[in-house]
């Protein structure tokens, strides 16, 4: 078997999704980096179990993130919803929700609280994007207020 080809994978994904005419692609627990065929066609949002840009990038997923947070001794982590781009966890941030790191946390206990935050922040961020209230300006996602929207 050959190496994974994100371009070919993304092209095949476009063929699968196109008949459904999506306005937005939402990744949840999707561990594959998407490439231009998808990213150039639709806005794609993702959720990450840390406060990006900290503890993000290739190899930072699931318990790897929570272990790194605990090893670093930080007092705050959380959930980040961001637009996906061609790099892991580098797209414009739409929303974040902080989670306090407790002294007796384990990767499992921390993961449980971060997942609770993800379940709150992700639907809110998706609703903002779906309603047209998010404008990307460079590397920033601006949330539009009533007069801006």
Radius of gyration of the chain, Cα coordinates, nearest whole angstrom: 16
Q: In the annotation, is 48 catalytic?
A: yes
Taking residue 60's Cβ as centre, other Cβ atoms within 10 Å add up to 20
Of these residues, 48, 63, 64, 66, which one is catalytic? 48
Active site residues: 48
């Amino acid at each position: 078997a050959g190496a994974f080809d994100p371009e070919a994978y993304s092209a095949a994904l476009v063929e699968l999704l196109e008949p459904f005419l999506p306005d937005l692609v939402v990744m949840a627990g999707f561990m594959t980096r998407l490439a231009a065929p998808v990213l150039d066609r639709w806005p794609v949002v993702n959720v990450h179990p840390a406060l990006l840009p900290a503890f993000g990038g290739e190899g930072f997923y699931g318990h790897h993130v929570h272990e790194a947070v605990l090893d670093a001794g930080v007092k705050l982590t959380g959930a980040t919803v961001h637009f996906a781009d061609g790099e892991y966890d580098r797209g414009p941030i739409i929303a974040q929700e902080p989670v306090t790191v407790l002294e007796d946390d384990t990767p499992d206990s921390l993961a449980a609280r971060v997942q609770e935050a993800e379940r709150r922040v992700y639907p809110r961020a998706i609703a903002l994007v779906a309603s047209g209230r998010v404008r990307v300006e460079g590397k920033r996602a601006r949330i539009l207020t009533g007069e801006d929207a």
